[in-house]
Amino acid sequence: MKSDFIHVGFILTLKNFKIKFIQNHMIRKLFIPLMMLVFFATTSQAQDSPLQRPQPKFWFGLSGAASFNFYSGTTQRLNAQVYAPTALHDGFGIRPYFSGFMEYRPNPVFGLMFHLGYEDRGGKFDEKIAPCNCPEDLTANVSYLTMEPSIRIAPFANAFYVFAGAVFSDNYRKEFTYTQEQQPDRSGDFSDWRKWKIGAQIGAGYDIPLSKVSNLNQFALSPFISYRPFLGERPRNIESLAMQTVRVGLAIKFGKAKKAEAVEVLPVAIVEVPMVEPDVTFNVTSPTNIHIERKVRETFPLRNYIFFDLGSTEIPSRYVLLRKDQVKDFKEDQIEVLAPLVQSDRPKREMTVYYNVLNILGDRMGKNPRSTIVLVGSSMEGPKDGKLMAESVKTYLVDVFAINPSRISTEGNRKPKIPSEQPGGKLDLVLLREGDRRVSVESKSPELLMEFRTGPDAPLKPVEFTTIQEAPIDSYVTFNVKGSKEAFTSWSLEIADEQGKIQTFGPYTQDEASIPGKTILGDRPVGDYKVTMIGQTKSGKVIKKENKVHMVLWTPTVTEEGMRFSVLYEFNDSKSIALYRKYLTEVVAPKIPQGGRVIIHGYTDIIGGEEHNKELSLARANDVKGILEAALNKSGNQNVQFEVLGFGEDESVSPFANKLPEQRFYNRTVIIDIVPNK
């Protein structure tokens, strides 16, 4: 008999140890959601949408959660009729929690919360062995009605918040069921159970918005976790039974924000509205309709690259390939008649020029019999694959343009000499590698190359042609928020027409943004619009200002002639501008007339971060301006008006699409428009 007791005691001890380990392990696992919420909080400062949504002061909602209830201490006398022969100590249970609640948020950081809830804090105690050598079990079915006032703090003024407060509990149920193997089950109510008790809780949550940014009615889904410690959780007047609870759940919230007060609208095209706090002004400039058709003499740079499709060493079909009998009629200045068979998203004369690059090269080599080239094919498949690509280009030049094969050398590499993909790069690798699968045309013959350029990245001599310019950059609608960089984290635009149809643009972080009038008007010749500027201050306050503006679509009727030049960059390269200094100084600057206007606009492709690309395009454009200004000052031409714009990767105004590598390479550019005197 003694050995049986020892055996049973050993099993019970082992079982209790296992249960305690599981409970402690579960407590640790329950704090994983809390750690995730903290992680969201630390990252959401940068990832929250800068386009600010209305912020209601009062929120109402419902919540539901799973309560993980942990019992400790001792209980043995359940009531006057039921007395457990062996004291019970620890227990655990998972029960539901529901509440209705209200939140008050007078500002983005501090607020109050008030919940009215029902919580089930039941659980089952660890099994014990009575003196009769029989197992005994105790299940507690305990529930409360609660009032939970808390302080709410959003430490980063964003979606993450923490809360802490008191819990006032009114006992609703206090039932138990006691079982012992050799006795019938006993049920009843616990005796000496406190009707009221006061506890505390702490927790954290994260609001996930479910509504559109512009809606005054805002809905949010909020996962949360809270902890109720032992403090104030001694439910009985006798014995030492104590409880603690961890809740993990979801809340659905609704709030309605007040409509921002409208600012008086002035019926003029240019309106300046001073803002008291913060100190910024909002201008909308819609230029008067310029009845011109601007003829442009464009000097278009010619990339010395032929890009190849993955898995093929044949020249892609998008390049214009001639027959031998067509060579005698080929002329650079009439190149538009040789459009590529497969047009890109935005058919442009400039891309037609580029897709004739092999014909231009063959024509120039035929006219300059001493010129030589090296074709360097680059392929991730290896040098052999790269050389096959180069041989395809050589075969075309030899067979169609009758170039002596001795004037053309071929090489094969895994990487081009100036690769787009750099060591350690991790982002946009597919796009970068598409750009590195190419044949580069290298030459030391100046009659083939752009002025003042040498080396493996030297473009071919530019192609000059006359074209009719689409709506010029100076016909764009300009939105200026002076002082926004100091006052706002970002600002955006909502532009509504007469029927209430809204177009959204932004977010922007610079003081100025320009949008083509055609983008806003579409095919309409004129339109009246309400423009709303939405900015968020660095303290979290949302500022809205409204202006009305009359827009007129740019339409051509009269002719004036301007000039356009471009400079190109390698991927993320900030040093390319130094290579163009002599070209800008000695070729472009002398063509700027006294009293003329120079519009310099920079662009990038879509690779990289949007904000970085915006800054990069503007920095390059300002570098070009600095070089031209210095050249003009040196020559005594100082009465020139400059306008500098950086559009980054904005595809609504970029020169080309971004689907093909050649389009992305040509989007890495600064364009210089020289507008003549009127």
8 A C-beta contact, residue 97 and residue 119: yes
Domain membership of residue 90 (yes or no) is: yes
8 A C-beta contact, residue 554 and residue 518: yes
8 A C-beta contact, residue 208 and residue 221: yes
Domain membership of residue 48 (yes or no) is: yes
Number of neighbours of residue 626 by Cβ within 10 angstroms: 15
Q: Which residues pair with 250 in a beta bridge?
A: 64, 223
- The rounded average pLDDT for each run of 10 residues, N- to C-terminus, in the chain (678 residues) is 42 43 49 52 41 78 95 92 90 95 91 96 91 89 96 89 95 93 88 93 93 82 93 89 94 83 46 53 63 66 90 92 89 64 52 87 91 94 95 95 95 88 68 90 86 67 69 68 78 86 82 76 80 82 82 60 82 60 89 88 87 86 91 88 87 82 88 80
Domain membership of residue 101 (yes or no) is: yes
Alpha-carbon gap, residue 26 to 20, rounded angstroms: 10
Alpha-carbon 76 to chain mean position: 60
Q: Two tokens at 190?
A: 């616990």
Alpha-carbon 52 to chain mean position: 15
Same-domain pairing of 366 and 395: yes
Same-domain pairing of 530 and 602: no
Same-domain pairing of 677 and 612: yes
Domain membership of residue 175 (yes or no) is: yes
CATH of the domain at 15: 2.40.160.20
The total number of structural domains that make up the chain:
4
Q: Which residues contact 87 (CB under 8 A, 6 or more apart)?
A: 74, 75, 76, 128
Domain membership of residue 264 (yes or no) is: no
8 A C-beta contact, residue 666 and residue 655: yes
Same-domain pairing of 598 and 524: no
CATH of the domain at 546: 2.60.40.10
Same-domain pairing of 389 and 443: yes
Number of neighbours of residue 52 by Cβ within 10 angstroms: 23
Q: Which residues pair with 145 in a beta bridge?
A: 118, 170
Q: Which residues contact 293 (CB under 8 A, 6 or more apart)?
A: 468, 556, 557, 558, 559, 560
Q: Two tokens at 341?
A: 């068979």
Cα torsion 401, 402, 408, 412: sign:
positive
Range(s) of the domain holding residue 484: 272-286+472-552
Q: Which residues contact 14 (CB under 8 A, 6 or more apart)?
A: none
Classified as helix, coil or strand, 229 is: coil
The last residue of a domain, from among 552, 579, 596 = 552
The last residue of a domain, from among 531, 552, 573 = 552
Alpha-carbon gap, residue 491 to 489, rounded angstroms: 7
CATH of the domain at 445: 3.30.1330.60
Residue 189 identity: D
Alpha-carbon gap, residue 479 to 399, rounded angstroms: 55
Same-domain pairing of 454 and 517: no
Q: Two tokens at 584?
A: 């800008």
Same-domain pairing of 120 and 171: yes
The whole-number pLDDT of residue 156 equals 83
The whole-number pLDDT of residue 342 equals 47
Classified as helix, coil or strand, 263 is: coil
Same-domain pairing of 145 and 188: yes
Residue identified by tokens 């089950």 is 185
Same-domain pairing of 93 and 191: yes
Domain membership of residue 298 (yes or no) is: no
- The count of C-alpha atoms lying within 13 angstroms of the C-alpha of 88, restricted to the half-sphere facing its C-beta, is 27
Same-domain pairing of 548 and 569: no
Same-domain pairing of 137 and 221: yes
Domain membership of residue 262 (yes or no) is: no
The whole-number pLDDT of residue 519 equals 77
- pTM for the full model? 0.49
Closest to 293 in 3D by CA, of 467, 463, 464: 467
The whole-number pLDDT of residue 472 equals 59
The whole-number pLDDT of residue 595 equals 84
Alpha-carbon 442 to chain mean position: 39
Alpha-carbon gap, residue 227 to 245, rounded angstroms: 6
Query: Counting beta carbons within 10 angstroms of the beta carbon of residue 119, is it exposed (0 to 12), middle (13 to 18) or buried (19 or more)?
Result: buried
Residues in the chain: 678
Angle at alpha carbon of residue 233, lines to 227 and 235, rounded to 5°: 140
Alpha-carbon gap, residue 340 to 270, rounded angstroms: 44
Same-domain pairing of 395 and 319: yes
The last residue of a domain, from among 513, 535, 552 = 552
Q: Two tokens at 28?
A: 């640790």
Domain membership of residue 267 (yes or no) is: no
Alpha-carbon gap, residue 654 to 648, rounded angstroms: 8
